[in-house]
Amino acid sequence: MDFSFTEEQLMIQDVARRIAQEKIAPSAEDHDRSGEFPLENIRLLGENGLMGIEVPGEYGGAAMDPIAYVLAMIEIAKGDAAHSTIMSVNNSLFCNGILTHGSEAQKQEYVRAIAEGREIGAFALTEPQSGSDATAMRCRAVKQADGSFRINGKKSWITSGPVAKYFVLFAMTDPDKGARGITAFLIDGDRAGFHRGKTEPKLGIRASATCEIEFADYVAQPEDVLGEEGHGFKIAMSVLDAGRIGIASQAIGIGRAAYEATLAYVKERKAFGQPIGAFQMTQAKIADMKCKLDAAFLLTLRAAWLKGQGKKFTTEAAVAKLTASEAAMWITHQALQIHGGMGYSKEMPIERYFRDAKITEIYEGTSEIQRLVIARHETGLR
């Protein structure tokens, strides 16, 4: 097994690290406090190929592989989790779905603008009443005599919803067929019938704008259908597999940021005449942090490698996402505990890492859903 990275992979990692350290990290506290969407930084990510890492060059992307995506995501998440959330949605949920299932015209119209950072993309699956039960959606797309679809309904918790130009939407076109009656659409947020709700006040990733969106007689043309009619649920599930690699990478980045800050702190902070890093209980926490981070990183690389090889990676992505997100939550918790009162203070970024880590256990499928995915694959039982 080869654990080395290519020159191209290391190059984009270096680009991501430089932007994260020079632009993102210095502004992270202000963005977290204000909740302001970091549009200038997102444009910069796009200009450097980070909003379409796996997008072919003919569609404005960096034409790289899933491993490069993992390495870049980790660096951006270390700088600020909110920025990496925006980056993840654009790469994994928006561009990936269209590249896999879209027509040539759709790739040119929708993917290029997102990959180049000129526009923001979003993914609209969740509804107020459905949560993890995606097939219980009430958003309806009724086919008209001329072949168009009239869409009505609401979607909730839409990352980048307040600022996105384009959306991948999932709506029920044949309620009697359940999951097989869901169709995916490409939506233009500037068209009539599309409405944005208030921006949600969140615990963490506060600079990543989130809102509810509503459709009131929005008209989608036949060419706006992504993939085939009735194949929306399959598209959503395959896209979420890729998304889980992105969230696992985000969780690793958050965990690394907390770990590195803690490692420096335990060498400097003294108690009872010696650095607190010399105490065995502190050393045990450091060792466990390191083990969890390494395990999460290797599992995420495995899922990304399988994706890059065109192999099935559903279970491996779930394993990576579950392991990395719970590692991030545990590491940030321990980091805050080790920092004590200073960790609880907003004068240091530790409490932000702690708040940001929690969402990785929720979106792109909760930890409970990941366990179901893994266990059903292992047992063959549903």
Report the b/e string of 142-179 with b at 16+ CB within 10 A.
eeeeeebbbbbbbbbbbbbbbbbbbbbbbbbbbeeeee
Tokens matching residue 382: 């549903």
Closest CA to 247 of 73, 3, 29, 26: 73
CA 116, CA 108: separation in Å to the nearest integer?
12
CA 208, CA 205: separation in Å to the nearest integer?
6
CA 265, CA 277: separation in Å to the nearest integer?
8
Q: Which residues contact 22 (CB under 8 A, 6 or more apart)?
A: none
**Rg over CA atoms, the chain:** 21
Closest CA to 168 of 92, 83, 93: 93
How many C-beta atoms lie closer than 10 Å to residue 182's C-beta?
Answer: 27
* Residue 179 and residue 237 in contact, taking contact as beta carbons nearer than 8 Å: no
Task: Find the helix packing angle between 367-379 and 314-339, rounded to 10°.
Answer: 140
| Amino acid symbol at 154 | K
Q: What angle do CA 237, 242, 244 make, to 5 degrees?
A: 90
How many C-beta atoms lie closer than 10 Å to residue 87's C-beta?
Answer: 29
E strand or H helix at 123:
strand 121-124
Closest CA to 187 of 266, 99, 125, 273: 125
Catalytic residues: 364
Q: How far is CA 156 from the centre of its chain?
A: 16
Tokens matching residue 181: 């009656």
Tokens matching residue 272: 């009872």
